Amino acid sequence: MIVDGVKVKFIGIDDGTREEAANYVAYVRGRVSEPIKTISVKLCDDGLVDVSYTARGEKFERIRRITGYLVGSTDRWNNAKKSEEHDRVKHNIFE
């Protein structure tokens, strides 16, 4: 079920009421600052519930420094500039 733009899933529990789902949404929003995508409520063996959530990804634009200029997109580059960028050595930071 979807409450206030958040998908709430009940796992191992009969579908909860809309009011119960709204309470879980309010509970998680009171503890985290990022926008919430989904909330999962799972019944544990000890009778308690495990509440977990996934956050919505923030959209961002990649900005790179190429040949001394900060660029976000190479859409408007001519073929020579695109070729120059393609031929550059790209370093992997995880090596």
Q: Do 51 and 11 share a structural domain? A: yes
**94 assigned to some structural domain:** no
Residue numbers of the domain that contains 45: 2-55
Could you give the dihedral angle defined by the CA atoms of residues 13, 14, 16 and 17, in that order, rounded to the nearest 10 degrees?
-170
Q: Do 43 and 28 share a structural domain? A: yes
Q: How many domains does the chain have?
A: 2
- This model's pTM is above 0.75: no
**95 assigned to some structural domain:** no
**Residue 57 pLDDT class (50, 70, 90 cuts):** confident
pLDDT tens column, 9-50: 998 777 678 888 899 999 999 998 888 899 999 888 888 888
Q: Do 64 and 84 share a structural domain? A: yes
Burial class (CB in 10 A: 0-12, 13-18, 19+), 23: middle
Chain CA centroid to CA 31, Å: 17
For 87, the token pair is 């031929």
Q: Do 50 and 20 share a structural domain? A: yes
